[in-house]
Amino acid sequence: MDYDIPENLRLMQDTIRRFVNKDLEPVSQKVEEEDHIPEEIVQKMRELGLFGLSIPEEYGGLGLGTFGECLVYEELTKTNACFRSRIGTSNA
């Protein structure tokens, strides 16, 4: 089934996809071996708003609904699952 993704969510999805490819995937194996996500990666996750997916924008979050959150999670899980787990504790 095809879904029409609103432009704002498509842009967000593209941003997360680029982040995964440029920043997360290159360190994925190292993170697995060291059992630690580097602080600079966590900071980039903060800057992207990944610790406040459903928090309203006026409070510093992204204000995403369930569909938007799913798009973020879908992109993040294209690499090491630890990155999804890291933000998941803040978005439950």
CB 13 within 8 A of CB 71: yes
Estimate the crossing angle of helix 7-19 against helix 66-76, to 10 degrees.
20
The 10s digit of each residue's pLDDT in 28-37 is 999 999 999 9
pTM: 0.88
Answer with the residue of higher pLDDT: 39 or 59.
39
Average pLDDT of the residues in 64-71: 94
Express as a percent the part of the chain with pLDDT over 90: 79
For the domain made up of 7-88, give the CATH fold: Butyryl-Coa Dehydrogenase, subunit A; domain 1 (1.10.540)
Interval 40-51: pLDDT, tens: 999 999 999 999
State the angle between helix axes of 81-88 and 39-47 in degrees (0 to 180), rounded to the nearest 10.
Answer: 60
* Domain boundary assignment for the chain: 7-88
Phi, psi of 70 (to 5 degrees): -60, -40
